[in-house]
Amino acid sequence: MKEAGQVLWDYGTEVTDSLKKLTGMLKDRFGGAGMADKYRIEERNRMRKPGEPPRILHSNIRRLIALAFPSLNPYHRETIACDYFISALADPDFALKVRERATANLDDALR
């Protein structure tokens, strides 16, 4: 676990040499409701940047939704991701055209 010791420099080998302790520490640090709230806020405020390719926005939305709603079933997560993606396009006319196509999931919205 030399690599974990380098990345997790503030923890001793009693944590980094045990998978159970390492997993627990990572969940404490990067998991939980506080982090999910952070990702939901980030997702809500995410807008397409000028010149940003839609596929970059798509992958960023997918990542944020997975982090914001880790326990939500995939169908509902896709529905939310699709809505956020269309809203994040930052072009109301283009967003309307995408919505008119009745996209069922995030990949359809990207296409």
Which amino acid is present at 66? A
What pTM was computed for the model? 0.68
Q: How many CB atoms lie within 10 A of CB 27?
A: 11
pLDDT band at 57 (very low <50, low <70, confident <90, very high): very high
Report the pLDDT value the prediction gives residue 5, as an integer from 0 to 100.
Answer: 42
Residues 58-95 pLDDT 10s: 999 999 999 898 888 999 999 999 999 999 998 889 88
Give Cα separations from 94 to 54, 68, 89 (angstroms).
12, 26, 8
The ranges assigned to domains in the chain are 1-30, 33-110
3-state SS class at 79: helix
